[in-house]
Amino acid sequence: MKKISTPYLLLIPGFAFLFIFFILPIANLAQTSTQTPLLNGDTGQYEQTFRFANYIDAFIENREQFSRSFIYAIIATLIALLISYPLAYALAFKAGKYKNILLVLVVAPFFTSFLLRTVAWKQILGEEGFVVPSLRTIGVISESTTLTSTSFAVVMGMTYNFLPFMTLPLYASIDRIDPRTLEASGDLYANGFTTFRKVTLPLSMPGVVAGTLLTFIPAAGDYVNAQILGSPNTKMLGNVIESRYFKIVDYPTAAALSFTLMAAILILVTIYIRKAGTEELV
């Protein structure tokens, strides 16, 4: 009996943590999402009326920000994948004795605040940075064009901030590939592209799926990059939720939007994993 119960006792701290800091807040969010303003009450006072129409009203009112959040997140995820895959491949097969140093450099941005990194991008893409003057010099953008307060700035900020979330799973997956497998492909007269398409990419798909999920999920709910690097025309759903909670004090709408965002992400992630053929990650 003692041997059987010990593993379950060891799980108690973890389950208690999840219950207190995840399940209870989610339950509170759920009951808040169906409340309505209290009659003759002050601002921010609500009562439980189980008004599920809050979800429909919140979605219709903020459908533009809703779609923008997913569009930005998808673009940032794809750009991060295009950057991270060659980087992870080089780290796994070409870095040699410098592998550990380069891995530290990949995670080095995490040594500073997410907020500070985003503010730094505002300076890099601003008039005082080197990007805008350089692009104007070579004629890519006109003298009146700016990069800050644009969709471009928001997506670039998201891509940079979440890039390590894409690179590390890809590296872990590619690093497990046996180099002899690639050599065998060459012995069978496959060229470099065929080897990548038939051997490397399929074997690294778990890393691709994990990296895209770890990038897309936080990017879809992000609001810091849109707040600092964007404008009112680039606001995402996270900005609306933040504003509803802390400025407008409209808790039911904020809670309904939060649940709608979570549900949409869960549905998209489930479809993506099944289409990618890695259901074991669910």
Write out the DSSP string of 183-235: HHHHHTT--HHHHIIIIIHHHTHHHHHHHHHHHHHHHHT--HHHHHH--GGG-
Q: What does the DSSP 8-state code read for residue 111?
A: G
Closest CA to 227 of 117, 67, 118: 118
pLDDT at 277: 64
Which CATH number is correct for 62-281, 1.10.3720.10, 1.20.1740.10, 3.40.640.10, 3.40.50.150?
1.10.3720.10
Find the DSSP H helices in 1-150.
2-18, 24-32, 53-61, 63-93, 99-107, 114-124, 131-137
**What is the mean pLDDT of the segment spanning 107-112?**
89
What is the rounded distance in angstroms from the CA atom of residue 174 to the CA atom of residue 122? 34
* Confidence band, pLDDT 50/70/90 cuts, at residue 21: very high
Contacts of 70 (CB under 8 A, 6+ apart): 220, 264, 268
pLDDT at 282: 43
More confident residue, 241 or 7: 241
CA distance 23 to 207: 29
161-200 pLDDT, tens digit each: 999 999 999 999 999 988 888 888 887 878 888 888 888 8
Render pLDDT for 205-255 as a digit per residue (tens, 0 to 9): 999 999 999 999 999 999 999 999 999 899 999 999 999 998 988 999 999
For range 23-38, the mean pLDDT: 92
pLDDT at 281: 46
Looking at residue 3, its pLDDT comes to 57
Q: How far apart are the first and last CA of the chain?
A: 33
42 compared with 159, residue with greater pLDDT: 159
pLDDT of residue 171: 95
Token pair in block for residue 153: 């700035």
Contacts of 40 (CB under 8 A, 6+ apart): none
Q: What is the pLDDT of residue 215?
A: 96
Q: What pLDDT sits at residue 23?
A: 93
Average pLDDT, the chain: 89
> Is the per-residue pLDDT at 115 higher than 70?
yes
Token readout for 192 is 């470099």
CB contact burial 25-58 (16+ within 10 A = b; e otherwise): eeeebeebbbbebeeeeeeeebeeeeeeebbeeb
Whether the pLDDT of residue 89 is over 60: the answer is yes
Question: Is residue 73 scored above 70 in pLDDT?
Answer: yes
pLDDT at residue number 252? 94
Bridge partners of 188, per DSSP, are: none
Kindly list the domain boundaries of the chain, sorted by start residue.
Answer: 62-281
Gap between the Cα atoms of 220 and 68, Å rounded: 9
Mean pLDDT, to the nearest integer, of 113-139? Answer: 89
Work out the pLDDT band at 279, boundaries 50, 70, 90: low
Q: What residues contact 239, with CB distance under 8 A and at least 6 apart?
A: 65, 223, 226, 227
Rounded distance between C-alpha atoms, residue 172 and residue 88, angstroms: 8
**How high is the pLDDT of residue 278?**
57
Q: Which comes out higher in pLDDT, residue 140 or 211? A: 211
